[in-house]
Structure 1
Amino acid sequence: MDPATIGLIGGIGGTVIGFMGGAIGTWFSIKNTNGPREKSLMIQMSVILWTIILTFLALMFLLPVPYKHLLWIPYGIGLPVAIRYCNRKQQEIRKTEVSH
Structure 2
Amino acid sequence: MDAGIIGGIVGTILGLAGGIIGTYFSIKNTKGPLERAFMIKASLIAWIAITAFLVLIFLLPNPYRFLLWIPYGILLPFGISKINKRVAEIREIESAN
Could you tell me the TM-score, scaled by structure 2's length? 0.97
Please list every run of at least 4 consecutive aligned residues from structure 1 whose deviation after the TM superposition is greater than 4 angstroms: none
Letter in 2 for 1:28: F
Is residue 54 from structure 1 mapped to residue 51 from structure 2 by the alignment? yes
Query: Once the 2 structures are TM-superposed, how far is the Cα of residue 99 of structure 1 from its aligned partner?
Result: 1.8
The aligned counterpart of 1:31 is 28
Percent same amino acid at aligned positions? 55
Deviation at 1:46, TM superposition (A): 0.4
Structure 1 gap segments, 5+ residues each: none
The 1-side partners of 2:7 and 2:88 are apart by 39
Structure 2 residue ranges without an equivalent (≥5): none
Aligned length: 97
Mapping of residues 1-100 of structure 1, within 5 Å: 5-100=2-97
RMSD: 0.9
Q: Compute the TM-score of the two structures, normalised by the length of structure 1.
A: 0.94
